[in-house]
C-alpha cells in the first residue's frame, strides 16, 4: 500500500517534468525558426538600411576583393612613401666609362683670313675678295677704293691697296707652337709663301728660317710655327690641344685609322676613337673617360628592389609617390564633378521648366566639347609658358573636374524628377521648409547611394585619363611622379624590352587600382539595389 501511495505521489511530478521537457523542446524549435536567413523578409525587417547595405556588400566576394586591393594600394601609396628611406626626386650616381667628344677636326677647304697689323680686313672685303677670285680677276673696287690681289702661291693671296698690304687669304693655316708666342703677320706671309711654292727655306728681316717635311717653321733648332690644313678644336672648356696630339691625329686621319693611342701630359695612355661625319665632312674624336653620371636603369638589387629609372631615381619610391598623386588627382576630380553635378542637377530637377531647359542645354554643350583635343591644346600651352609642375597639377584637376560634371548632373536631375512628386516632398512644402533645404536636405540625400556608385566607378576612369595624359607628356611633370609619367619613360622599344622593371610595376599598380574601384562600384550598385536578393 505504501508503494502504491508513493507511485501516486511521484506520478504528478513525472507528468510535470514531461510537460517542462515538451515546453523546452518547443522553445528550441522556436529559436531555430527565429534564426532567419538574410533573404528572409522577417530577417530583413530587423536590419537598418545601412546594415543591410553592408551585409549585401560583404556578401559579394568580388566587392570584398576589390576593397582589399584598394586598401593595399592606399597603404602602399600613402604609408609607403613615409617609410621609404629615399626621397621622391633623390638621384643616385655611379662611375662609368663613357665616350665623350674630345675634339672636332675639319680639313680646311676654305680661305682663312688674317688682317695685317693696324689694318682692317672685314667680312665685306672678304666677300669681295672671293668674288674676284671666282671671276679670276686681279683686283676689285669697294667704296671707290681699289684693292689688288697678288697670288703668292697655291691657294695663297695677299690683298693690298696703294702698295700697303691689308691682309692675306690662305687655305693653309700657320699655328703657333704649344709653348711659343703668337706668330707675327710678316712671319705668316713669308712662311706660307715658301711653303706653297715648295721651298724649304726663306729669310725674313735678316733671319734664316727652314721648313721641314712636317710643316714646321724652324729657326735653327727652335720651332717657331707649323703649317697644317687640319683645324682641331677642343670640345671641353679649358683643354689645350698639344702639337704632338695633333700630329698623331693627322697621321691617323691620313691612314684612315678608326682609333689611335696617345700618352697625355698626365703620363696615362688613352685610346681615342675617330668617327667621320659625312653630313659636315668632319671628324669627331671620342675619348673614353671615367664619368660620374646618373645610375640609369640599374637592375633591381637589395638596395633598390625595383631598380632605378633613367634619371637614377628609386623606382619603388617613385611608384609610391606616383600612386599618391594619381589617387589624389582622381578623388579631387571626382569631388569637383560631383559637387557641380549635384548643384546644377538638383536645381534643374527640382524647378523644371525654363531652368531645367537652360541647364540641360548647357549640359548638351559640354557633351559636345571634344575633351581630349582641348586638354592637349591646354597642355601644349602650359608647356610653352613653362608653368610650374605643381600649378600644372592644379590646373589639370580643375580642367578634368570641370569637364566631367554633366554626367553627374543628368543622374541627379533624373532621380530628383521622380522624388519631388512623392508624399514626403508634399509634406516639406506644407511645412513651409525653404527651397534650398528641400533640395539639399531632403532630395539630395536620397540620391547619395546612386552618386556613390557613379563616383566610385568614375574614379577608375579618371585615374586612367590622368595616366594617359601624363604618358603623352600633358599631365603631371617631372620631378613629380605619377603612374602615367613613370610609364612615359619607356619611350622606345629597347627600354621596353630590356628594362621591364621601369614600366611593368606601374602598369600593375594601375591595373589593380582600376579593377579595385570597378569591383567596389559593382558591389555598391548591387548592395544599394533593394531588389537584390542574392
Say yes or no: 521 and 426 in one domain.
yes
- What pLDDT digit, counting tens, does each position of 311-333 carry? 889 999 999 999 999 999 999 99
* Cα distance between residue 206 and residue 323, in whole Å: 83
145: β partners: 142
Domain assignment present for residue 353? The answer is yes
Question: In a 3-state reduction of DSSP, which class is residue 38?
Answer: coil
Place of cell 650616381: 93
pLDDT over threshold 90, residue 67 = yes
405: β partners: none
Mean pLDDT score, 3-14 = 49
* The pLDDT value given to residue 77: 92
Task: Give me the chain's average pLDDT, please.
Answer: 83
Say yes or no: 65 and 101 in one domain.
no
Say yes or no: 252 and 346 in one domain.
no
Question: What is the residue range of 282's domain?
Answer: 96-106+233-293
* The pLDDT value given to residue 34: 52
Say yes or no: 243 and 277 in one domain.
yes
Say yes or no: 395 and 416 in one domain.
yes
Q: Which residue has the higher pLDDT, 11 or 224?
A: 224
pLDDT over threshold 70, residue 288 = yes
Peptide bond connecting 479 to the previous residue in cis, omega within 30 degrees of 0: yes
Domain assignment present for residue 381? The answer is yes
What is each CA distance from 67 to 220, 423, 513, in whole angstroms? 92, 37, 10
Place of cell 686621319: 253
Mean pLDDT score, 66-90 = 91
Per residue in 258-279, is it b (16+ CB within 10 Å) or e — as a string?
eebebeeeeeeeeebebeeeee
Domain assignment present for residue 181? The answer is no
Other C-beta atoms closer than 10 Å to the C-beta of 377 total 12
- Window from 277-281, 297-301, 392-396 with minimum mean pLDDT: 277-281
Say yes or no: 101 and 86 in one domain.
no
* The pLDDT value given to residue 4: 47
* The pLDDT value given to residue 180: 65
* Cα distance between residue 467 and residue 482, in whole Å: 7
What is each CA distance from 274 to 26, 94, 238, 252, 258, in whole angstroms? 103, 26, 22, 9, 5
* Cα distance between residue 307 and residue 300, in whole Å: 4
Domain count along the chain: 2
Nearest to 213 by CA among 193, 232, 228, 231: 228
- What pLDDT digit, counting tens, does each position of 466-504 carry? 888 887 777 888 888 888 888 887 777 888 888 888 889
Say yes or no: 289 and 401 in one domain.
no
Confidence band of 8 (pLDDT split at 50, 70, 90): very low
Say yes or no: 362 and 490 in one domain.
yes
Q: Which residue has the higher pLDDT, 122 or 43?
A: 122
Say yes or no: 470 and 327 in one domain.
yes
Say yes or no: 260 and 398 in one domain.
no
pLDDT over threshold 60, residue 342 = yes
* The pLDDT value given to residue 534: 46
| Residue 344, domain CATH | 1.10.3720.10
Domain assignment present for residue 174? The answer is no
* The pLDDT value given to residue 505: 92
Other C-beta atoms closer than 10 Å to the C-beta of 160 total 17
Q: Which residue has the higher pLDDT, 305 or 435?
A: 305
Last residue of a domain, one of 248, 274, 293: 293
* The pLDDT value given to residue 167: 92
Other C-beta atoms closer than 10 Å to the C-beta of 82 total 7
Q: By the 8 A CB rule, do 346 and 439 touch?
A: yes
Beta strands 282-294; 269-277: pairing state: antiparallel
Per residue in 99-128, is it b (16+ CB within 10 Å) or e — as a string?
eeebbbbbeeeebebbbbeeeebeeebeee
Question: In a 3-state reduction of DSSP, which class is residue 436?
Answer: helix
Domain assignment present for residue 175? The answer is no
Length of the chain: 534
Last residue of a domain, one of 273, 293, 313: 293
Last residue of a domain, one of 293, 316, 340: 293
* The pLDDT value given to residue 47: 56
Q: By the 8 A CB rule, do 363 and 409 touch?
A: yes
- Rounded to 5°, the CA angle 355-358-362 comes to 140
pLDDT over threshold 80, residue 49 = no
Domain assignment present for residue 219? The answer is no
* The pLDDT value given to residue 485: 84
Domain assignment present for residue 499? The answer is yes
Dump the DSSP string for 305-341.
TT-B-TTSBBHHHHHHHHHHHHHHHHHHHHHHHHHHH
Q: Which residue has the higher pLDDT, 421 or 530?
A: 421
- Window from 37-41, 106-110, 194-198, 241-245 with minimum mean pLDDT: 37-41
Question: In a 3-state reduction of DSSP, which class is residue 157?
Answer: strand
Say yes or no: 286 and 310 in one domain.
no
pLDDT over threshold 60, residue 280 = yes
What share of the chain in percent tops pLDDT 70? Answer: 89
Confidence band of 5 (pLDDT split at 50, 70, 90): very low
Say yes or no: 283 and 415 in one domain.
no
Confidence band of 1 (pLDDT split at 50, 70, 90): very low
Maximum C-alpha span of the chain: 175
pLDDT over threshold 70, residue 12 = no
Q: By the 8 A CB rule, do 191 and 172 touch?
A: no
Domain assignment present for residue 278? The answer is yes
Dump the DSSP string for 102-150.
EEEEEE--S-EEEEPTT----HHHHHHHHHHHHTT-SEEEETTEEEEEE
Amino acid at each position: 500500500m505504501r508503494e502504491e501511495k508513493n507511485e501516486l505521489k511521484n506520478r504528478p511530478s513525472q507528468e510535470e517534468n514531461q510537460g517542462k521537457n515538451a515546453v523546452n523542446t518547443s522553445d528550441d524549435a522556436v529559436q531555430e525558426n527565429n534564426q532567419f536567413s538574410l533573404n528572409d523578409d522577417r530577417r530583413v525587417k530587423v536590419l537598418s538600411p545601412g546594415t543591410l547595405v553592408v551585409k549585401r556588400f560583404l556578401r559579394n566576394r568580388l566587392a570584398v576583393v576589390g576593397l582589399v586591393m584598394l586598401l593595399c594600394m592606399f597603404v602602399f601609396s600613402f604609408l609607403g612613401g613615409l617609410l621609404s628611406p629615399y626621397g621622391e626626386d633623390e638621384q643616385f650616381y655611379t662611375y662609368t666609362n663613357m665616350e665623350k667628344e674630345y675634339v672636332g677636326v675639319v680639313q680646311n677647304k676654305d680661305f682663312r683670313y688674317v688682317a695685317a697689323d693696324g689694318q682692317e680686313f672685314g667680312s665685306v672685303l672678304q666677300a669681295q675678295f672671293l668674288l674676284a677670285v671666282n671671276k679670276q680677276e686681279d683686283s676689285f673696287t669697294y667704296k671707290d677704293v681699289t684693292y689688288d690681289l697678288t697670288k703668292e702661291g697655291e691657294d695663297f693671296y695677299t690683298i693690298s691697296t696703294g702698295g700697303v698690304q691689308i691682309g692675306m687669304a690662305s687655305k693653309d693655316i700657320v699655328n703657333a707652337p704649344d709653348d711659343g708666342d703668337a706668330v707675327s703677320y710678316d712671319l705668316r706671309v713669308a712662311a706660307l709663301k715658301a711653303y706653297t711654292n715648295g721651298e724649304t727655306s726663306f729669310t725674313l728681316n735678316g733671319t734664316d728660317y727652314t721648313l721641314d717635311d712636317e710643316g714646321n717653321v724652324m729657326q735653327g733648332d727652335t720651332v717657331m710655327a707649323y703649317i697644317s690644313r687640319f683645324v682641331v678644336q677642343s670640345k671641353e672648356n679649358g683643354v689645350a690641344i698639344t702639337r704632338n696630339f695633333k700630329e698623331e691625329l693627322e697621321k691617323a686621319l691620313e691612314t684612315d685609322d678608326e682609333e689611335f693611342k696617345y700618352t697625355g701630359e698626365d703620363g696615362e695612355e688613352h685610346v681615342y676613337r675617330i668617327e667621320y661625319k659625312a653630313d659636315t665632312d668632319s671628324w669627331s674624336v671620342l675619348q673614353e673617360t671615367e664619368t660620374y653620371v646618373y645610375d640609369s636603369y640599374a637592375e633591381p638589387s637589395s638596395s633598390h628592389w625595383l631598380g632605378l629609372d633613367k634619371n637614377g631615381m628609386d623606382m619603388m619610391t617613385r611608384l609610391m609617390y606616383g600612386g599618391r598623386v594619381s589617387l589624389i588627382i582622381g578623388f579631387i576630380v571626382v569631388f569637383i564633378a560631383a559637387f557641380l553635378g549635384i548643384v546644377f542637377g538638383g536645381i534643374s530637377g527640382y524647378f523644371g521648366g525654363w531652368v531645367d531647359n537652360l541647364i540641360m542645354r548647357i549640359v548638351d554643350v559640354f557633351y559636345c566639347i571634344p575633351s581630349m583635343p582641348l586638354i592637349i591644346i591646354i597642355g601644349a600651352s602650359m608647356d610653352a609658358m613653362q608653368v610650374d609642375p605643381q600649378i600644372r597639377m592644379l590646373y589639370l584637376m580643375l580642367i578634368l573636374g570641370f569637364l566631367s560634371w554633366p554626367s553627374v548632373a543628368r543622374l541627379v536631375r533624373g532621380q530628383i524628377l521622380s522624388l519631388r512628386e512623392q508624399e514626403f516632398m508634399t509634406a516639406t512644402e506644407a511645412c513651409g521648409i525653404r527651397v534650398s533645404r528641400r533640395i539639399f536636405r531632403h532630395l539630395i540625400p536620397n540620391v547619395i547611394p546612386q552618386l556613390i556608385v557613379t563616383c566610385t566607378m568614375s574614379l577608375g576612369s579618371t585615374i586612367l585619363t590622368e595616366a594617359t595624359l601624363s604618358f603623352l607628356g600633358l599631365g603631371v611633370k617631372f620631378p613629380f611622379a605619377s603612374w602615367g609619367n613613370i610609364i612615359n619613360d619607356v619611350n622606345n622599344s629597347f627600354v621596353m624590352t630590356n628594362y621591364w622593371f621601369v614600366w611593368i610595376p606601374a602598369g600593375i599598380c594601375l591595373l589593380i587600382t582600376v579593377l579595385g574601384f570597378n569591383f567596389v562600384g559593382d558591389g555598391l550598385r548591387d548592395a544599394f539595389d533593394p531588389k537584390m536578393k542574392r
